[in-house]
A = this chain, B = another copy of it.
Amino acid sequence: MENPDFSDFTIAVVGLGLIGGSYAMALKRLNPHEICGIDMDEETVEKALRAGVIDRGCGNPEGILKDADLVVIALYPEEAVKFIKSNIGSFKKDVVITDTCGIKTGVIEEVHSFLPGDMDFIGGHPMAGKETKGLQSADSDLFRDANYIITPVERNREKNVELICKVVKAIGCKNVVSITPEEHDRIISFTSQLPHVIAVSLINSGNAGGDIALFTGGSFKDVTRVAAINSILWSQLFTLNSDNLIDEIERFEENIKTIKKAIRTEDKNALEDIFNCAALNKRKMMVLNERA
């Protein structure tokens, strides 16, 4: 695919952490008119400027927002909403704003409650990340071959949704999936939030202390890989999606109860049925993942 032309575009990235920093690096390769960075940490802005990640940067959003045609907000959910609200007078009147938050319904509803009619806010969620955070972890290839979910709603303009799709493809994403914010939050509570609940609960469940390190094989390390969780971000993500997440946790608890009963009664047939079902589900998922 030929790279689309962004030479008329001034793009601002708000929050130069792992996601925002990676976004800025990937956007830079598209040769936009200007790529600007906003971060409340002046030192981060300095670093991004020195590394050539951004052309212009500032802790104070006003001077940048008045020029930006496209604004990518890479902040935690509550901070993203606050940022747009506090700076609402500084945006261009036909600006296109997108975010990168891991939950969508609450963020989109809140933003739309105060966003002027000419401005367009389109929710986005890159399915990419790392266990580390900050600009020092940013990587221009973070989005390479990743899936990217967008959650346009009725008030979004078609041409702006197309713009976001074009940008997301241009920074390297393989699939752009468009679903409703509600559907997004329901699915993500199972595919991302529940695994994090599990990782945290497993690592906090250990009471054997130091002597278990020699006994942990791959399965323990895998399940707990994401356990060193960013506590502020994830407490927002979980509470903003609490109904969906509670449903998924309870479905998972039912499955744990079923297997526990089979273990307690030493019912090998029941266990084999559970395992065969799991193996089948796992293989189905692997085939679908390869196609995705």
Contact = CB atoms under 8 A, between A and B. Distances in A.
A220 interface: yes
A211 to B, nearest CB: 7
Contacts of A95: none
Query: Which range holds the interface residue count of chain A?
Result: 35 or more
A151 to B, nearest CB: 12
A175 B275 CA distance: 31
B200 A259 contact: yes
Interface string A157-201: 000000000000000000101000000001110111011111111
15 contacts: A149-B215, A188-B215, A195-B222, A201-B252, A204-B274, A204-B281, A205-B251, A213-B288, A222-B222, A228-B283, A230-B275, A231-B271, A232-B272, A238-B263, A249-B259
Interface of A: 127-129, 147, 149, 175, 177, 186-188, 190-192, 194-208, 210-232, 234-236, 238-239, 242, 245-246, 248-256, 259-260, 263-264, 266, 268, 271-272, 274-279, 281-285, 288-289, 291-292
